[in-house]
């Protein structure tokens, strides 16, 4: 399987590259090599490499900044996705790309299923929902994997930020009224591989198993690393200074993923533990 990756230097892009067999050929691109907002560049890349599968990881992911950069977020997420989808359809390549729980409004009382209605609250969520629609409108062969609360070795993430702030002795006020499930980028990359091996198409949800709040995750991380929790406080979202509204409940149902692949994701505590061992081997993470 020849594989072409966009956004290859991002949190997910870096992991995707690691989980596939390289013998048939993998080309990972960054923004310098392939700007997905340029339709001609999309055609040139797909024509040039002739992939069986394009894994489109490039995206605008700055959830709060998007509130004041809507046009740019839209260009990258919606038009970028449309450009890649069109080039894939024209060349008969399968397109794999990623969605988010932020397309939902958080009013559900059970984990969101793939067919549940979208009602995004934020600019980022709206661009990601519009990107899904652009992908479907293009009508090519595709797999869309919705995920949430991602962390991993590349770049910044909530867990790393919490650890750094705690070590500096800062007071931490963290939302206890947003519930979701932390997901290791490495696990998501592995899930993409399993889904492709199973011939999955359409929309599939993936995250770790279980659920927690951002506050619950922060407390878990500090306890696991042997750090004091006295400076960590539960806060209401409305009292925190984040511009983008977020769903109060965004847990994704993994029923379809399990039915397709025959495997269950691991619990989030296990995934977080593995990540902490990686980034903080001396820090008492057990
Ligand atoms: N992170 C999460 O919690 C999360 C949750 C659910 C779903 N997702 C989805 O998962 C996917 C991957 O997210 P991620 O967290 O890995 O994102 P990320 O770390 O922000 O990486 C995105 C990559 O896209 C690149 N990029 C930006 N503009 C580009 C352009 N015009 N052309 C080509 N590449 C460009 C970025 O390069 P620069 O660094 O040079 O800008 C970056 O390497 C996205 O679709 C995201 O919406 C993420």
Instruction: Say what the pLDDT of residue 286 is.
Output: 44
Instruction: Say what the pLDDT of residue 282 is.
Output: 67
Ligand 1, atom nearest to 38 Cα: 31
Residue 83 CB neighbour total at 10 angstroms = 22
Q: Residue 190 in 3-state DSSP?
A: helix
Instruction: Say what the pLDDT of residue 59 is.
Output: 98
- Residue 5 Cβ inside 6 Å of ligand 1? The answer reads no
Contact 31, 58 (CB under 8 A): yes
CA-to-CA separations, 98 to 43, 118, 198, 235, 255, in angstroms, rounded: 20, 15, 18, 30, 18
- What residue ranges do the domains of the chain occupy? 3-156+181-208+250-265
- Residue 232 Cβ inside 6 Å of ligand 1? The answer reads no
Tokens representing 81 are: 């996705």
Q: pLDDT below 70 — which residues of the chain?
A: 282-286
Residues 224-239 have pLDDT tens digits of 999 999 999 999 999 9
- Beta partners for residue 212, in sequence order: 180
Residues 157-203 have pLDDT tens digits of 999 999 999 999 999 999 999 999 999 999 999 999 999 999 999 99
CA-to-CA separations, 169 to 93, 139, 172, 195, 242, in angstroms, rounded: 50, 52, 9, 43, 22
Q: Ligand 1, atom 39: nearest CA belongs to which residue? A: 10
Tokens 């004041």 belong to 68
Ligand 1, atom nearest to 98 Cα: 45
Instruction: Say what the pLDDT of residue 272 is.
Output: 98
3-156+181-208+250-265 is a CATH 3.40.50.720 domain: yes
- Residue 250 Cβ inside 6 Å of ligand 1? The answer reads no
- For 57, residues 6+ apart whose C-beta sits below 8 A from its C-beta are 5, 6, 7, 8, 10, 12, 13, 16, 97, 98
């Amino acid at each position: 399987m020849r594989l072409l990756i966009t956004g290859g230097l991002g949190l997910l892009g870096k992991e995707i590259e690691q989980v596939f067999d390289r013998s048939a050929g993998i080309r990972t691109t960054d923004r310098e090599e392939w700007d997905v907002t340029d339709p001609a560049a999309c055609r040139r890349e797909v024509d040039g490499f002739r992939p069986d599968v394009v894994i489109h990881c490039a995206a605008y992911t700055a959830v709060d900044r998007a509130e004041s950069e809507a046009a740019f977020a839209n260009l990258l997420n919606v038009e970028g996705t449309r450009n890649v989808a069109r080039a894939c359809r024209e060349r008969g390549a399968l397109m794999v790309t990623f969605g988010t729980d932020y397309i939902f409004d958080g009013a559900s009382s059970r984990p969101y299923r793939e067919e549940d209605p979208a009602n995004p609250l934020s600019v980022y969520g709206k661009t990601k929902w519009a990107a899904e629609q652009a992908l479907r409108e293009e009508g090519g062969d595709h797999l869309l994997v919705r995920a949430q609360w991602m962390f991993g070795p590349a770049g910044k993430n909530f867990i790393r930020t919490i650890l750094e702030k705690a070590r500096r002795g800062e007071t931490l006020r963290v939302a206890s009224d947003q519930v979701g499930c932390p997901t290791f980028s490495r696990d998501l990359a592995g899930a993409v591989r399993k889904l492709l091996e199973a011939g999955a198409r359409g929309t599939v949800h993936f995250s770790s198993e279980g659920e927690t709040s951002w506050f619950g995750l922060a407390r878990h991380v500090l306890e696991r690393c042997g750090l004091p929790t006295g400076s960590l406080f539960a806060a209401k979202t409305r009292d925190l200074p984040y511009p983008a509204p977020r769903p109060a409940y965004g847990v994704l149902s993994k029923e379809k993923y399990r039915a397709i692949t025959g495997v269950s994701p691991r619990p989030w505590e296990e995934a977080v533990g593995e990540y902490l061992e990686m980034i903080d081997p001396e820090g008492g993470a057990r």
